[in-house]
Amino acid sequence: MKKQLTLAMIILTSLFFATSGLAADSQSLQQRIDVLERQLNDLQKQLNGQRDIESNVQRLSGHKRDLERNREHLQKQEKQLEESHSNQEQLSHFSKCLKLLGEHISIGGLVEVEVGFAEDYDGNDESDITLATMALDIDIDLHKYVKAHILLLWEEDDTEPVDLDEAYILLGNTEYFPLYIQAGKLYVPFGNFESNMISDPLTLELGEVRESAVVLGLDFNGIYTGAYAFNGDINENGDDDEIKCFGINAGYAFENEGFSFDVGAGWINNIADSEDLTDALPGDIKDYVAGVTAHAIFSWQGLTLIGEYLGATDNFELSELDFK
């Protein structure tokens, strides 16, 4: 009986210590589980943080792309603004150039259209429409005392194509100083040829001289005078082709309210160089024939009286003229 009790005590003691060991092991295992759970939670947090970082990286990448697009857009806008500014500068420069040209260059023109009806002695009718004159006039103020003048002229059946009618340089300004020099292709100051008619006066047809010439003139308080020289198209037989043609003119002009007049006279040593006489002469002539002209123009209250004389001081040789 004692042996049985002793054995039971031993078994109970063994069970007690075994149970105590299992409890201790269970507690240790729970602690490990708790540690593992904390580690797992930490890892989960790290993983979540990593995901947040990746999400942030993606968002930053998107922002970066947006910034790149905005930067490119801004660069394009900046380039457009620079081009616009450059265009504005060019337009401003062009506008200044136009303004400068407008201050120094003046352009004028003339267009004349003629409509004519006629009937001859046999009763035949004729009619026509003609662009009689088209002229483009350009004046350039290079300096206070330097000017240039260009005149382009087109006359149907006469100056086709366009003819350079005048082109000269004017040195001087009679508003400030009476003397001036004119050089180039011009109409020399021989004759006045004033007219209010549709057709040109006969004095112009016979005496107008257009040459490359030099004119020294004076214009002071209504008094005007000039001397000129040029190399004409018609020479004396046997003479060299030199500057031997010259002439002078003088006159006085006055004007006030309601009344004006202009009287003057001129002389040229070779009237054969006038436009029409040059065409009528076959070539050189024996001797130069001088020409003279005088004019008077009076105007009062809208009424104008014009008188002009032009003629040669001697006769041409009959054999020298194409028309007889």
> Is the per-residue pLDDT at 5 higher than 80?
no
- Under 8 Å CB-to-CB from 280, ≥6 apart: which residues? 321, 322, 323
Q: pLDDT: is 259 or 29 the higher one?
A: 259
Q: How far apart are CA 274 and CA 233, in angstroms?
A: 9
pLDDT above 70 coverage of the chain, percent = 90
Q: How far apart are CA 295 and CA 250, in angstroms?
A: 11
> Is the per-residue pLDDT at 22 higher than 60?
no
Q: pLDDT: is 90 or 166 the higher one?
A: 166
Q: pLDDT: is 266 or 154 the higher one?
A: 266
> Is the per-residue pLDDT at 131 higher than 80?
yes
Query: How many other CB atoms are found less than 10 A from the CB of residue 188?
Result: 25
**To the nearest whole number, what is the mean pLDDT of the chain?**
85
Please give the average per-residue pLDDT across 268-281, as a whole number: 87
Q: pLDDT: is 239 or 246 the higher one?
A: 246
The whole-number pLDDT of residue 13 equals 59
Under 8 Å between Cβ of 308 and 204: no
- The model's pTM is 0.69
Q: Which among 175, 212, 210 is positioned nearest to 189, based on CA atoms?
A: 210
The whole-number pLDDT of residue 260 equals 95
Strands (E), the chain: 105-119, 125-143, 146-154, 163-171, 179-187, 210-220, 223-230, 245-256, 259-268, 291-300, 303-312
> Is the per-residue pLDDT at 21 higher than 60?
no
* Cis before 161 (ω within 30): yes
The whole-number pLDDT of residue 315 equals 86
Under 8 Å between Cβ of 216 and 230: no
- Neighbouring C-alpha atoms within 13 Å toward the C-beta of 254: 7
- Under 8 Å CB-to-CB from 228, ≥6 apart: which residues? 188, 189, 213, 214, 215, 216, 246, 247, 248
Under 8 Å between Cβ of 162 and 153: yes
Terminal CA-CA length for the chain: 192
> Is the per-residue pLDDT at 121 higher than 90?
no
The whole-number pLDDT of residue 7 equals 60
> Is the per-residue pLDDT at 51 higher than 80?
no
Burial of residue 234 (number of CB atoms within 10 Å: 0-12, 13-18, 19+): buried
Q: What DSSP letter does each residue of 99-123 carry, written as one string?
A: HHHHHHEEEEEEEEEEEEEEE-TT-
The whole-number pLDDT of residue 294 equals 97
The whole-number pLDDT of residue 18 equals 52
> Is the per-residue pLDDT at 23 higher than 60?
no
CA distances from 75 to 67, 68, 69, 81, 89 (A): 12, 10, 10, 10, 20
Of the candidate ranges 55-69, 101-115, 238-252, 274-288, the one whose mean pLDDT is the lowest: 55-69
Q: Which among 249, 253, 275, 309 is positioned nearest to 158, based on CA atoms?
A: 275
Q: Three-state SS for 152?
A: strand
Question: Tell me: the pLDDT tens digits for 162-211?
Answer: 889 999 999 999 999 999 999 999 999 999 999 988 788 999 989 999 99
Q: Which among 300, 318, 297, 323 is positioned nearest to 308, based on CA atoms?
A: 297
Greatest mean pLDDT among 155-159, 196-200, 226-230, 238-242: 226-230
> Is the per-residue pLDDT at 265 higher than 70?
yes
89: pLDDT confidence band, cut at 50, 70 and 90? confident
> Is the per-residue pLDDT at 25 higher than 70?
no
